[in-house]
Amino acid sequence: MACAGCEKPILDKFLLHVLERAWHAACVRCADCRAPLADKCYSRDNKLFCRNDFFRRYGTKCSGCGHGISPSDLVRKAREKVFHLNCFTCLVCRKQLSTGEELYVLDDNKFICKEDYLAGKAPTQH
């Protein structure tokens, strides 16, 4: 019997059965970070992933940077969009915007803090 991960014969005393295929225990690793997947894994397109890499790849994307948002990431939501905390910032001064803070929306993904807007620092739209 060949391992689904390395395609070499499985001669070990123990094997793992994942996605209805046999694997060497050492070959059950995340396709992205290569971490061993001892307890649980996620799959897509016959590849195995750890929780964080699966959600980064296939989960919700940050409207600021476009990268995936993992379940452990802290986020802000604005107008049905989701942002990493570090991506939810003022376009002018780069200050991180807080929940409940007054801000001005330039487009769906760009914001300006109240201070910069009132100071006339908003970029002009062409």
* CA–CA separation, 10 and 109 (whole Å): 51
pLDDT digits (tens, 9 = 90+) for 35-89: 999 888 899 998 999 988 898 888 889 999 998 888 788 999 888 889 999 999 9
Of 83, 81, 54, give the one whose Cα is nearest residue 70: 54
* CA–CA separation, 42 and 59 (whole Å): 12
Q: Residue 1 is inside which H or E element, if any?
A: none
User: What is the pLDDT averaged over residues 87-106?
Assistant: 90
pLDDT at residue 120 in the model: 87
pLDDT at residue 100 in the model: 84
User: What is the pLDDT averaged over residues 107-121?
Assistant: 88
Coil, strand or helix at 85: helix
How high is the mean pLDDT of the chain? 88
* CA–CA separation, 64 and 69 (whole Å): 11
Q: How far apart are the first and last CA of the chain?
A: 65
Coil, strand or helix at 5: coil
The model's pTM: 0.60
User: What is the pLDDT averaged over residues 82-97?
Assistant: 93
pLDDT at residue 13 in the model: 84
* CA–CA separation, 34 and 39 (whole Å): 15
pLDDT digits (tens, 9 = 90+) for 2-35: 999 999 999 988 888 888 899 898 999 999 999 9
Cα distances (Å, whole numbers) of residue 103 to 16, 48, 82, 97, 108: 53, 42, 16, 8, 13
pLDDT bucket at 1, cuts 50 / 70 / 90? confident
pLDDT bucket at 125, cuts 50 / 70 / 90? low
Of 42, 82, 80, 46, give the one whose Cα is nearest residue 58: 42
**Domains present along the chain, CATH in parentheses:** 16-58 (2.10.110.10), 62-126 (2.10.110.10)
